[in-house]
Amino acid sequence: SSSSSSCCVFSAAKLPPPPQRQLPAVGGGNAEWNVYRCSEGKRCEAADCNLWHSDSERRCKDFARGSCAKRDCKEGLHVALADVNQIVTVDLDKPIEAKAVLQANKGKSVNERARVVRLVLYGFAWVRRQLLRDIFEVFPLVHEVMLPDRTRDANLLVAWCDLIEELDCAKRAPRMREIIFSDGHAEALW
């Protein structure tokens, strides 16, 4: 089990706890995960592909091999696979607080933000898509979204698939592939 930290914004109202679920495994033990480009790019459908699909998720090859010490490296992310284990929780029903979480995370380095593997989102609504676009852009290695206050619904799943396409998540958060509902059931987004 991986350790994780959580950045939470909760209102006075009691929100349902997210379902208990193991964090996604990142990289499958491949130390060179995301250091080489996938020839399929955004069209790649392999959930376990070890290659990068967008510059936003590319890891520095030298860092992966333990030899890059550049502070502002332009060759990719400086993040160890074991460190991609953090969770960020946002209550979208509280847009001001949600934007505060977004701003707090924008203030972190891209390498710190790349440690986020799961987003827990309360209060999902289509009208929040611009805020979601901004959120996805901040966390380049997010793998899944959890909606602990939403039951599994075919229409909601279709809306999320449309949202993923509209937000161009293949570029912003290319590893985001699953949505998890309040009962813990996961569905593939693409």
pLDDT in tens, 117-159: 999 999 988 888 888 888 888 999 999 999 999 999 888 888 8
Give SS3 for 178: strand
Longest dimension (CA), the chain: 48
Cβ proximity of 180 and 21 under 8 Å: yes
Give SS3 for 86: strand
Checking if the pLDDT of 5 tops 60, the result is no
Q: What's the CA gap between 101 and 152, in Å, rounded?
A: 26
**DSSP tag of 90:** E
CB neighbour class for 12 (10 Å; exposed up to 12, middle 13-18, buried from 19)? exposed
Give percent of the chain with pLDDT exceeding 90.
48
Query: Among 13-17, 74-78, 150-154, whose mean pLDDT is lowest?
Result: 13-17
Cβ proximity of 91 and 62 under 8 Å: no
Cβ proximity of 120 and 146 under 8 Å: yes
Compute the Cα dihedral for 137, 142, 143, 147 and give only its sign.
Answer: negative
Nearest-CA neighbor of 58 among 41, 43, 76? 76
What are the structure tokens assigned to 47, written together? 């959930």
